[in-house]
Amino acid sequence: MKLQVAMDLLTIDDALELAGKVAEYVDIIELGTPLIKAAGLAAVTAIKDAHPDKIIFADMKTMDAGELEADIAFKAGADLVSVLGSADDTTIAGAVKAAKSHNKGIVVDLIGVVDKVSRARQAHALGAQFIEFHAGLDEQAQPGFDLKGLLSAGRNALVPFSVAGGVNLSTIEAVQLAGADVAVAGGAIYGAADPALAAKKLRVAIV
């Protein structure tokens, strides 16, 4: 299972600093949606330039204009770009077209999708490289939130998948047991007093 750090920060300087601390422990470096909205795609270019050996994930969360939005993110240096599972099939297909022309990949994010298993299978058939089973920051803040539903949906979908939303040291083992290909950790790393140590512990927890 790969480890992805989600950098939900707001400036390129902060993102470069965090990536510099944790890169050695992660496989994929994600530029979070708030970072891309605040700093633009220049953030993607800066991180790719600093870490050319890492897989760079631009969390665009594209909902429309799939081919155009994916194309500009790939041109900026992204290796993976996210499109929302709630978008139209043509949006996902357009983004996949852009990915193919750059020899890169699309990740379809199921945030807010009710029937995650069906949509995951459809998105995979449309050409997504993997499907993100995702509980967003707002969903995690709801009383009684539990990762278990996401994990069983991921397991049942029978497609390559990542899990995002509250992944930390106490949940990463369950994420791996569910068969995830990628575990995404944001706050558990960037919110830690020592992000490098937090990333290292997550890496070590992956068997």
Kindly state the smallest distance separating residue 137's Cβ from ligand 5RP, in Å: 5
Minimum CB distance to ligand 5RP smaller for 104 or for 134: 134
Kindly state the smallest distance separating residue 101's Cβ from ligand 5RP, in Å: 26
Kindly state the smallest distance separating residue 83's Cβ from ligand 5RP, in Å: 13
Which residue is associated with the tokens 């029978």?
158
Which residue type, as a one-letter code, is found at position 24?
E
- What lies within 8 Å, CB to CB, of 46 at 6+ separation is 12, 15, 16
Contact 56, 32 (CB under 8 A): no
With CB atoms as reference, the residue minimizing the distance to ligand 5RP is 186
Minimum CB distance to ligand 5RP smaller for 7 or for 159: 7
Minimum CB distance to ligand 5RP smaller for 101 or for 173: 173
Minimum CB distance to ligand 5RP smaller for 20 or for 34: 34
Ramachandran category for residue 69: left, alpha or beta (phi over 0 → left; psi -120 to 50 → alpha): alpha
The H-assigned helical ranges of the chain are 12-22, 33-39, 42-50, 66-76, 89-102, 116-125, 137-140, 148-157, 172-177, 187-190, 195-205
Kindly state the smallest distance separating residue 50's Cβ from ligand 5RP, in Å: 20
Contact 43, 72 (CB under 8 A): no
Contact 80, 28 (CB under 8 A): yes
Minimum CB distance to ligand 5RP smaller for 97 or for 137: 137
Kindly state the smallest distance separating residue 169's Cβ from ligand 5RP, in Å: 12
- List residues near ligand 5RP by CB under 6 A: 6, 8, 32-33, 59, 134, 136-137, 140, 164-167, 184-188
Kindly state the smallest distance separating residue 4's Cβ from ligand 5RP, in Å: 9
Geometric angle at alpha carbon 14, from 107 and 145, rounded to 5°: 50
Minimum CB distance to ligand 5RP smaller for 6 or for 99: 6
For residue 105, the number of C-alpha atoms closer than 13 Å in the C-beta half-sphere is 17
